[in-house]
Amino acid sequence: MMVTEKKIRSSICGIILSLIATACASTEQAKETTRESIDQNAREISKLEITQSSLDDLTASWPEASRKAISDLTEKYGLPNEATASMVIWHNNGPWKRSIVYKEEVTHLFPKKHPDVLEQFVNYQVPVDKFDDIARYDGSVIVERTKGEMSARCDKEEMNFLALNLAQEIAEGKKTSQEARKEYAKSAMSFMAGKENDYTDNLNFRVSKNTADPDHRVMKEMMTGKDSEQASQE
């Protein structure tokens, strides 16, 4: 009797383990199928030509500030190169390396309350000792050392021109953070009053191509006993 019970229990355990293994395999297969489906959909979407109609449908539920930015850029630069559920992207439009309109609004209080939805990029190498000064000037001016990019994020292209022109003056040592903040507020008020302003019309500096800063290796030099200063010179 005991032997029979052991055999039954063993058989039951085997069946249960087999069912668990089958379920796990089915789950993994389902996950893989889902991943393949998502990848396929993404590939198909990337092949679709962006039209004004498809862009309007995609962004119909977006915040007003985002839709206004898209409308303004489309009127000036034509239809975007990419469009997703969360952002619309132009490449090499006008003076910009890249322009992105986001669905998500980021509240910004300087110089007055507004939503940051439009981010525009240029190639520019900011001296490392000026990073903090630019951050103190405007939190929506972003410097990326490795890629050699600087971007500004606001709700209007003119305000991004203004933000980057003043950031460049900080980088060149022509203005302090506080001086740039005062000039930004003054120029923004002038723009809103409909007056012409050199800061808001276009970029006032030349954009370069080779601005990336990949830094230098340190781990290999540490293992070979070289110091970082010697390594940077090689």
pLDDT along the chain (234 residues), means of 10: 54 62 59 55 56 97 98 98 98 97 98 97 97 98 97 98 98 98 97 92 93 88 64 54
Domain ranges of the chain: 1-47, 52-201
Q: What is the pLDDT of residue 3?
A: 46
Look at residue 48 in the predicted model and tell me its pLDDT.
Answer: 60
pLDDT at 116: 98
Concatenating the DSSP letter of every residue in 46-107 gives HHSPP-HHHHHHHTTTS-HHHHHHHHHHHHHH-S-SEE-SSEEEEES-TT-SEEEEEEEEEE
pLDDT of res. 2 = 46
Q: What is the pLDDT of residue 17?
A: 61
pTM for the structure as a whole:
0.75
